Amino acid sequence: MTPAGYTLAEVFLASVSEDGTLSTLYETPADTNVELWTAFLGALETKNHGLAAYVNSKAAVTEFGTGAPELMRQALKLRGLAVDESVASTSTRFADAFPSKKKPQRDVGVNARFVYP
């Protein structure tokens, strides 16, 4: 069921704690903006090698919250991307550093197309 070259943990960005609790990095961390975390996961799927520098920057802590950069490092490791532990001194916003190619879309109900053409 898993793609060649991936384990289930890599596909689902998941880990199992000692007590057997499954957690996945697809769940937004408590102190992180949902849209911002979704944008990070989208950039992760493109295997963008610039993510490591951003994750180790002060901007990551400022935008994503104090606990998120460590979770971001875990996600990078699970996807086989290098994680340089040195601290980068960038202050570039995530949206500026990793612009999304997709148009934001929100479906809020059956009549959403009338609200968001």
Q: Which amino acid is at 53?
A: A
Task: Report pLDDT for 110.
Answer: 57
- Most confident option among 41-55, 77-91, 100-114: 41-55
What's the rounded Cα separation, in Å, for the pair 109 and 64?
Answer: 29
Task: Report pLDDT for 87.
Answer: 64
Q: What are the residue boundaries of the structural domains of the chain, listed by start?
A: 32-91
What's the rounded Cα separation, in Å, for the pair 78 and 114?
Answer: 41
Residue, of 40 and 9, whose pLDDT is higher: 40
Neighbouring residues of 33: CB distance < 8 A, sequence distance ≥ 6? 63, 64
Q: Is 3 left (phi over 0), alpha (psi -120 to 50) or beta?
A: beta
pTM for the model stands at 0.76
Instruction: Please tell me what DSSP assigns to residue 33.
Output: -
Share of the chain above pLDDT 90, in %: 34
Task: Report pLDDT for 63.
Answer: 94
Write the pLDDT tens digit of every residue in 63-73: 999 999 999 99
Task: Report pLDDT for 11.
Answer: 82
φ/ψ of 38, rounded to 5, equals -65, -40
